[in-house]
Structure 1
Amino acid sequence: MSLCEAEKTFVLHGVEENFRVDGREREDYRPMELETDIVSHAFGSARLRLANTDVLVAVKIEVDAPFPERPYEGKLDFFVDCSANATPDFEGRGGEELAVQISNALSSAYRSPNVFDLRKLCILKGKKCWKLYVDILLLECGGNLFDAVSLAVKAALWNTQVPLVKQVDIDGNNINLDVSDSLSDCQRMDVEKAPIMVTVCKIGERCVVDPNAAEEKCSVGSVVVAVAGRKISTVLQTGTGSLHPVTLLECLTLGVKIAQRLDTALWDTLRQIKPNQDVGFLK
């Protein structure tokens, strides 16, 4: 998307007056819709639509060997695919850099054991563990991808059911696992402290959240804040501009505040969601 100077000025003046182009205030989000358990061959899935941004997440599980330096932990991998239909910028290999950036940000945000305890994925110390593949597909890009992806990932992990290992047989170097086929024997992941990302954009002299595509073009700098509970798990600066230390502190404070609000709304939604049902929140 390209904007002329008159359009940029219009966006800047609206943000300054706390009345954005779509009628929101600086700390408001666009309407969201969340749907879970929609990919039949996945262990957990979710689809989140944030205005024109559409994200699909599917979680797959397989048995693997833990890392030698972390014998008590399972594994968690993120893979992001940018659909060429999401935006013309993704045609060819245009979305690869963004995909790697989002994947690295998620890996960094989930790295701490206080955020997501990988020890619960351990089957046999140093020998066998569960490995979770979190596949993220960007179906449509309407701005604010990091926030939408983090919410969809948390919902998909909440929806994920890990099979129960009934018995482990060890015969020399051979390890046989007896995994239950019953869905009633599965257990859900503990994602209460899983991080939520909030993108804070500096537009003019003000900070806004949930920027649309036009506002992202007018931003002089952006900070993505991943918040788990009341603590920041990672910080990522996007865009080409730089931020003054005072502005950076303002962005971090606002990010924590908004993340807690988002987390509350997400949990309220997950508690009432039913299979194959769209639920809108933050409208």
Structure 2
Amino acid sequence: MAFVALSEAEKVYIVHGVQEDLRMDGRGCEDYRCVEVETDVVSNTSGSARVKLGHTDILVGVKAEMGTPKLEKPNEGYLEFFVDCSANAAPEFEGRGGDDLGTEIANTLYRIFNNKSSIDLKSLCINPREHCWILYVDVLLLECGGNLFDAISIAVKAALFNTRIPRVRVLEDEEGLKDIELSDDPYDCIQLSVENVPCIVTLCKIGYRHVVDATLQEEACSLASLLVSVTSKGVVTCMRKAGKGSLDPESIFEMMEVRLVLGRCLDLAGSAGCLLPPWSHCGNSPH
């Protein structure tokens, strides 16, 4: 994770502000920064999206390639994730400095999509046991300004929403040999349903309270955070703790009350490929 150095006085100022529900940029504890979502930004991909959340800038590209189904799931396609932490995003990512963070983000994405409800993987199957579509999801961190996981989840959902997969016909000749024919019509394609794709809500514990959409300075004051992936219907698909500190059960229950409303708001951005709801622009709480 990107690092920012703070003095003890700065940390005390941030913590005391959070206790009074007043953060350094004027937001309340449950307010998001303005989020911008732009789709179809990379021409040589099947789908793409760019998300700007404060000073965090994420670019996601999806490429659909034909491959062989996995042995344990012969009638399904699958997704592969790769995360590149650019040295321009943070100086500590230079060289192989961002590899650990990239692996952590990719593993979190695998956990989110490791269920039958997020994406209809059977729709990616062309010919059972022989051919399927593999979606290679490449995530590039252009700038790191805090709250990476939330921004990445929105960008991935928006990129999948923008993905167009060519329609395929399986032809069989008289000898039983099968041939695959791709449609030449650019408008004759398959669009994925992202209705059940969850978005991540990260809740950082600072002092005795928690905040959403933490900045780098606020993340430096937090010893533990809770990552919750939630669908637009309020279904939690994944939850994990991050950081070296601990979270007591009472804090977790309090955090879980917030993730439902915020999860629905984030879902609007990821599936619509546009600006978040009006409350995000002015820093108002969705409550």
Q: Normalising to structure 1: TM-score of the pair?
A: 0.93
Match of 1:77 in 2: 80
CA RMSD, aligned part only? 1.7
1:23 Cα deviation after fit:
0.4
Match of 1:107 in 2: 110
Contact residue 154 and residue 269 of structure 2 kept, 8 A? no
Among 247, 252, 262, the alignment partner of 2:251 is 247
Distance between the aligned counterparts of 1:170 and 1:68, measured in 2?
26
* 230-239 or 211-220: bigger deviation: 230-239
Contact residue 84 and residue 102 of structure 2 kept, 8 A? yes
Equivalent residue letter for 1:140: E
Match of 2:284 in 1: none
1:24 Cα deviation after fit:
0.3
* Equivalent residue pairs, number: 275
Question: Any gaps of 5 or more consecutive residues in structure 1?
Answer: 274-278
Distance between the aligned counterparts of 1:194 and 1:206, measured in 2?
29
Distance between the aligned counterparts of 1:198 and 1:172, measured in 2?
54
Match of 1:276 in 2: none
* 160-169 or 133-142: bigger deviation: 160-169
Contact residue 35 and residue 47 of structure 1 kept, 8 A? yes
Match of 1:193 in 2: 196
Q: For residue 66 of structure 1, give the secondary structure of its aligned residue in structure 2.
A: coil
Distance between the aligned counterparts of 1:139 and 1:170, measured in 2?
49
Q: Normalising to structure 2: TM-score of the pair?
A: 0.91
Distance between the aligned counterparts of 2:45 and 2:173, measured in 1?
29
Percentage of matched positions with identical amino acids: 47
Contact residue 269 and residue 276 of structure 2 kept, 8 A? no
Distance between the aligned counterparts of 1:92 and 1:172, measured in 2?
54
1:238 and 2:250 correspond? no
Taking a change above 3 Å as real, the CA distance of residues 172 and 27 of structure 1, as seen in their structure-2 partners, is farther
Contact residue 230 and residue 237 of structure 2 kept, 8 A? yes
1:1-53 CA distance string (max 9 Å, x none): 11011000110111111110000001100111111101100000000000100
Question: Any gaps of 5 or more consecutive residues in structure 2?
Answer: 282-287
Match of 1:123 in 2: 126
